[in-house]
Structure 1
Amino acid sequence: MFVTTCIKDKIFQHSTPYRVLLKILRNNYSDNDVDLNVPILCLMTDGWPDHRLTYETVKTSLLLLLLQLDLDMIIAIRTAPNNSWVNPAERCMSILNLALQHSVLARDEMTPEFEKMVKHSSSLNANMANCKPGLREAYLESMTQVIHTVGKRFERMKLKGEPLEVSTGLKESVIQRRMRIVNEVTHAPNSKVNTSASTKELRECTELQDFLQMHCISTHYCFQIMKCVGENPCSYCTMNPARLPDDVLSGLSFLPCPVPDDSGVHYKTFQEVYGKTVDDSHCPSSKQNSDFSEEAQNADKQNRDTLKTQRARDIIPCGECGKPRLLFSPSKTVNYHTGNFLTKNEGGRCFYMW
C-alpha cells in the first residue's frame, strides 16, 4: 500500500479527478505509460465540491480519465455524510497533519503592482487574474517555495513503513490540450467543453449529454461510465473495443444500489440486484420525510437559495413559541425592527425570512 498526495495551488489548479489521478495511475499502474494495467477503475471520494459526483464538471473529468487510460469502466462512489472515515484516503490525514506541525509558511512577494492589487482583497480568484495580465503567473511563482516546502515535509512521513509519494498534478495547459479528446469523441464544440466551462454550460451541451446518457449511470452517491456492451456499439466503442474478454464483458453491468427486501428490514443480496436497473429511490435522502408535511417540504425547496448557512444573519426570539430562531436574508444589511417578515411555522418548525 502506498500513499500519494498531490500538492498544488487551490486557486488556479482545481482538484479534479483527472488532474490528480492520471499522473499517479500511469506512474504506478501502467506498463506502457499510457493504458492502465486493468480495464476497470474504482474510485472513492469524500464528496467535497471538487469531487462531487453530481457535478457536470466532475463527470466530464471522469470521462476524460476513461478516455485517456482506455478503460472499459469507471465506478466512482462517494461516502455517505459523516462517514468519510470509511474512505482509506482519510486514514493518512493524521500523518499529513503531523508533517505540518510547527511549520511557518509564507509566499514570496510579487511586484509592488500586484501586491497592491491583492492587498485589500478578501480572497483571490481566477476571475481577478483573468482581468489583470500577468497576475496568474506572478502568483503561481510566488507560491513555488511554499509548495516545495510542504512537499519536502510530506516526503519525510511514512505509512506502515512506506514513505509517502508527493505529486504536483498536471498543469492547466496540459489538461486543456487533452480535453480535446472529449471534444473529438462526443463531437462537442471546444467552446462548450473546456476546463473553464461551468456546470450550466456542460449541462446545456447536447452532444456531451447524449454521450453521457448512452454510457453512464448517475445517482446521488455514484457515477459510472462503461463502454457499449452488446450489438450496435457507438463509433468510439467501435474504434476502441473493450479490453475485457467477451465472456466477462457479456456479464458486465453497472454497480447496483442497495435495494431492501420484502421485509423492509434487510437488503437484498448483491447477486439478486446485479444486472438489474440501477434504482436509487431507496436512498434515505430520496425518501419523503414523514415528520413534515408535503407542503412544508415544498416550501423548503422553493426557498432553498435563501435558507443557507451563509445567509443566516441573526437570531431573534420567536413571537409564538419564544425560542430563538434564525433570521435568513439574501443581503447582509437587515433592519428587522422596521421590516416585514415571511413567517413560517409548519410541522413544529419556525423560521423567518426577510
Structure 2
Amino acid sequence: MGHPTSFGQPSCLVWLAAAVLVLGLCLVQQGAGRQRPHQWKSSEAALSVSPAGDIVDKYSRDSTEGENTVSEGEAEGSRGGSWLEQEGVELRSPSQDSQTGTSTASPTGFRRYLRFLAPFDLVTIPGKPLVQKAKSRNEVGWVKNLLFLLPPTHVDMETFVDEIGRFPQEDRPLADAARLYLTVQAVRLVAHLQDEGVVHGKIMPDSFCLKREGGLYLRDFGSLVRAGAKVVVPAEYDEYTPPEGRAAARSRFGSGATTMTYAFDAWTLGSVIFLIWCSRAPDTKSGYEYSVEFFFSRCRRVPENVKLLVYKLINPSVEARLLALQAIETPEYREMEEQLSAASRLYSGDGTLTGGDDDMPPLET
C-alpha cells in the first residue's frame, strides 16, 4: 500500500472537511426519509447490471497503485461494517428488494442507486511522529502522519472510454451499452449532489472511476462546496470550465473567483458525457457555434437522445442551462434508461449476446 507524500496543512484540512461534509450529508439524508425523484427508481433494474462490468476486467489497467486502498473486506473488519455502511453513501434505508421480493439491511442491495467514493477512515502510522519534515522534488515541507483509507478502484473513466474506443466492429454494441451506462449513472450522481445543495466543482473524466464489477463511482470531493460559494477555479480545469468560470478567471477586476452553482456542475457533466461518446471534450472556446450540428460535426455516431441532452447541459446561458436534477426527468434521459434496461438483458456476464438484436432499441449509426 502506497503512502503518497503531501505538503502543508491546508490541503489536508480541506480533504478532511470534504470527507466529513460528504459523510454528514449522507447520514442526515439516510435518516430523513426524503422522497427521491421518481425517475431514479425506474432505472433500478438497468443499473443493477452494468454492461461495463463485462469489459473492465479484460481491457482495463489497475488504477490503485499509489493510493491508500484496502479491500472492502478489510474495511468491514476495521470499522464493524463495510465502507458503504460507514459512509452511508446509499442514502436509502433498508427496504424490500424489488427484484427478489426480500427485505435486506445490507447496503450491497442498494449500490445501484448511488456511488460516492470518499475516504472511509483516517489512520496514522504507529510509532511515527504526528508531523515530520520531508523533501520531495527539491521542495521541503511538513508531512502529517494522517492517511485516508480509500476503497479500491480498478480504472478511471477516461482510460476506460479510451479502451472501448478501440473495440473491433463486432464488439461495438457492447461498447455502446457501456457508454449508455456511464451516461445514465453520471447524470444520476451529479443530480444527487444537487439534491443535497452542494456543488462538486470538479466534474471531469478523472473524477469518475470504475470498480472491478463495472460500477461507476464519483470521487475527488476535495472541491465540494455549498451552492453559492465563491471559488477560484484552477487553470488546468479550463477545458471543462463553463463560460462564466472562464470569464471570472480572465477578469482584471475582483479576485477571479467563480460563484459555484448547480449550473456549473451541469456544464461540466455535459462535457464529460460528450467525452464518453466522442473521446474528447467539446469545442467550447470563443467563437464556437451553439448547435447540435456544430458540436457533433466530427462525432456523428452518437444517439440523438445523447446529443440533445449534452446540448441542453452545455448551454452557454446559465439561466437556460439544463440542471442535472432536471435532466433525469427529460424524455431523452428516460429513453436512455429504457435502452440501458434492454441492453442489460442482452448480455451475459462475459459480455456475449444472450438475446436478439431486436431486443434493444437501436442506437444511431
Range class of TM-score, shorter chain? under 0.3
Superposition TM-score, scaled by structure 2 size: 0.26
Superposition TM-score, scaled by structure 1 size: 0.26
Question: Which is bigger in relative contact order (C-alpha 8 A, separation at least 6)?
Answer: 2
